[in-house]
Chain A
């Protein structure tokens, strides 16, 4: 009953919420979180009720959420708009971009003042000593030790075309992991690596960015994309942010965000104020995420039970229908959770919402429940089945009074398996911004910060254990005493 209430609460929450308030989305990396918070605070200052759905996913998910009106605003980059969203062959100016976006009901603010593109960085002392300021200076130092991220080595706009454009003939170039390359540069084992121009690590390690004097790297100007049906005052509040953040400032905000793990605080620095993040209190934050996690698990498990047990009952009788039920639920189980979410998100009714997460979890919870219900019923001996029939019980009464109670232990074991799988899988709900304990896990992965990952991983593991104990206790309630006794 309680799960039902939670389920309805979730549906209600999803369907109301959208008309009055503005929902800001962001992608899953530090800078997007910070820009999302800046937009939230700016809109709040303009008098709107604003919610920020942090780290909802990648470009495609955010773009679809914007078009589906799940969100009204999110930060994006001009290079990404051209390459991944509009996918135009020829280069576009901002007016061209605006015209194309308008066809989708989307507007674009002026650029915020910084360009987050690839950059080549060096240690400041080394650059000063060699007198290097721009990429073309590399021509004079072909013997520098260069360690590049593997992605940059391979990209169409990466190292090879850059060397051609600048006419570089570097002797010592190797590929390595991005995080390692930073560490290697910091201790001086390499002289130069690639980076994003506003990466917090640049400020933290006091690196210098070499000037792209031949304008090789594409422009990734930061802008806000918003729905054209959004309130004009809200658009004006966003436009006010145009040209107010240069690269150095963005780097500083990113670095503060990564240092404090508090995006609200970092965004507050932009406004010259200290904002207290609502997630400041760790216990309160974990409690909130755990509750959310339990909502997702509870609602999906509830649906899994009310659909899974009848399907299992049907599948316990031999025949093609049973084979179909069992093989379908098995196949669902083999779909990777990410792929399943990606399949559901574009469908009408689903989108970026709790409904999608709950539905996906529900599908995963089906197999153990269906399979165990069928197996529990099938393992009832023929003599017992015939005895039930011979008494003159109707088939329905045989099922309810004899077969289901006899199979209860196996069925409950299936429900327990589903619950534990759900607790684990529900962490993936954070991929579509629905929250739960996956939220710190995913942002921790993006920030490469073990502490943050553990904030989600430890409670999730404890929760799985707790669920296990809970169901062991339920055994005493649901499994009749006669089945628990030993001979």
Chain B
């Protein structure tokens, strides 16, 4: 369970997130959606402690996020971003094992886990010795996902994980990822601006605009009882092929 209580974030005079309360239930996939600049990525960064809230508090599994425990908490959260955020000087394998080796985890379970992850993400084992520049966009995202999952985190945060992929690769990876999520049974928060993608993954959706949560619920809730004109417009702008 992740809880945001009266959390807000301002940079100078610009408010990027107004006072916000949000509960992310354990084991669910929650999707944060909204136009760019709505504050959805900011929420992920606040949970990761990459940004410090201007006001309010954040709790992860009953533990309040502070400067003192942030390193410890981050190691229990997997984080995947748009371009993968891989380290160019390390091979796929080194990227995935970086943190485990830093923590001096025992070698054998670590190797087993690595093979498990390759299987889970359909990543070819011989690709492990390649450097990021030698991998395709889809492969990079798989490596990034393996890196995030290596230490068996209880929470997985994904920030536009398919944003940089072409449509074919994107569709395949979406299918696979949904499979993976099903198997993991983890608390997952995903950020996207794509309604179809959100609907595909979400147990619950949170629609944001201009730094505020506009409406939470399922796709049906948003469709049948839109909370505002914006919700209607946002859904309309994201019409699927069926409606054309």
Contact = CB atoms under 8 A, between A and B. Distances in A.
Interface of A: 383-384, 386-394, 397, 401-402, 405-406, 408, 480-483, 485-487
Contacts of B83: 383
Contacts of A384: 85, 87
Contacts of A401: 98, 102
Interface string B35-78: 00000000001001010000000000000000000011111010
Contacts of A482: 87-91, 131-133
B99 interface: yes
A392 B89 contact: no
B23 interface: no
B201 interface: no
Contact of A391 (B45, B73, B74): B74
Contacts of A390: 48, 50, 74, 77, 79, 85
Given A391-B98, A391-B99, A405-B89, A485 B50 contact: no
A155 B79 CA distance: 79
Contacts of A405: 87, 89
B133 A486 contact: yes
A22 B132 CA distance: 64
B221 interface: no
A401 B95 CA distance: 11
Given A397-B102, A406-B88, 17 more contacts: A383-B81, A384-B85, A389-B48, A390-B74, A390-B77, A390-B79, A391-B75, A391-B147, A392-B75, A405-B89, A480-B89, A482-B87, A482-B91, A482-B132, A485-B133, A485-B134, A487-B133
Given A386-B50, A392-B71, A402 B99 contact: no
7 interchain residue pairs of minimum CB distance = A387-B85, A482-B131, A480-B89, A392-B74, A392-B75, A390-B79, A405-B89
Contacts of A408: 89
A393 B85 contact: no
B206 to A, nearest CB: 21
B82 interface: yes
B73 to A, nearest CB: 8
A405 to B, nearest CB: 4
A386 B83 CA distance: 12
A384 B147 CA distance: 13
A408 to B, nearest CB: 8
Nearest to B88: A482
A389 B74 contact: yes
A383 B102 CA distance: 21
B11 to A, nearest CB: 14
Contacts, number: 72
Contact of B87 (A388, A389, A486, A487): A388
B162 to A, nearest CB: 15
A402 B147 CA distance: 15
Contacts of B77: 390
Interface residues of B, number: 28
Contacts of A483: 88-89
Contacts of A391: 74-75, 79, 98-99, 147
Contact of B99 (A392, A481, A486): A392
Name, among A387, A391, A481, the residue most crowded by chain B CB atoms within 10 Å (CB to CB).
A391
12 contacts: A386-B50, A386-B85, A387-B86, A390-B74, A391-B75, A392-B71, A392-B73, A393-B98, A393-B102, A406-B89, A482-B90, A482-B133
Contact of B71 (A383, A388, A394, A402): A394
Interface centre among B48, B82, B89, B132 (most CB of A within 10 A): B89
A394 to B, nearest CB: 6
A401 B133 CA distance: 19
A486 to B, nearest CB: 7
A402 B72 CA distance: 19
A397 B45 CA distance: 20
A43 B130 CA distance: 71
Contacts of B147: 391
A386 B45 contact: yes
A401 B89 CA distance: 10
B134 A386 contact: no
A268 to B, nearest CB: 62
Nearest to B81: A383
A483 B87 CA distance: 10
A481 B130 CA distance: 10
A480 B90 contact: yes
A189 to B, nearest CB: 70
Contacts of B71: 392, 394
A412 to B, nearest CB: 13
Contacts of B91: 482
Contacts of B75: 391-392
B161 to A, nearest CB: 13
Contacts of A485: 131, 133-134
A393 B99 contact: yes
Interface string B131-162: 11110000000000001000000000000000
Nearest to B78: A390
Contacts of A487: 133
A141 B72 CA distance: 101
A389 B99 CA distance: 11
Nearest to A384: B85
Contacts of B87: 384, 387-388, 402, 405-406, 482
A405 B50 CA distance: 22
A394 B71 CA distance: 7
A339 B81 CA distance: 53
Interface in B184-225: none
A405 B131 CA distance: 14
B203 to A, nearest CB: 24
Given A393-B102, A394-B71, A387 B79 contact: yes
A406 B134 CA distance: 17
Contacts of A397: 102
Contacts of A388: 87
A100 B85 CA distance: 75
A474 to B, nearest CB: 16
A350 B122 CA distance: 66
Nearest to A486: B133
